[in-house]
Amino acid sequence: MTNRALINGIRRQDGLYLSRSDLKTLIRKGFMKMRGKALTVITALILSYALISCSQQEQVAEKQRTPPEKASSSISVPVQPAKPAKPDRAASSAVLKEFAQEITTDSKIEKMRAKEMVVVSVNVKNTSAETWPAEQTENPVRLSYHWLDNKGEEIVWDGKRTFLPNILAPGSSVVLKAEVKSTGKPGSYVLRFTMVQENVAWFEQKGAKPLDIPVTVIK
Query: What is the pLDDT, as a whole number, of residue 51?
Result: 57
Q: Which residues of 72-83 are buried (b: 16+ CB within 10 A; e: fewer)?
A: eeeeeeeeeeee
Query: What is the pLDDT, as a whole number, of residue 82?
Result: 46
Alpha carbons 180 and 160: distance in angstroms, whole number? 7
Query: What is the pLDDT, as a whole number, of residue 64?
Result: 67
Alpha carbons 120 and 125: distance in angstroms, whole number? 16
CA angle 39, 44, 50 (to 5 degrees): 125
Q: What is the DSSP string of 27-76?
A: HHHHHHHHHHHHHHHHHHHHHHHHHHHHHHHHHHHHHHHSPPPPPP--PP
Domain layout of the chain by residue ranges? 3-65, 92-218
Q: How many residues are recorded in the chain?
A: 219
Cα atoms found within 13 Å of the Cα of residue 59, Cβ hemisphere only: 6
Query: What is the pLDDT, as a whole number, of residue 135?
Result: 87
- Residues in the chain predicted with pLDDT less than 70, given as ranges, are 1-44, 46-58, 60-93
Q: Which candidate, 47, 138, 31, 42, places its Cα nearest to that of 90? A: 138
- Architecture in CATH for domain 92-218: Sandwich (2.60)
pTM (two decimals)? 0.59
Q: In sequence order, which residues have a C-beta less than 8 Å from that of residue 41 and are 6 or more positions away? A: none
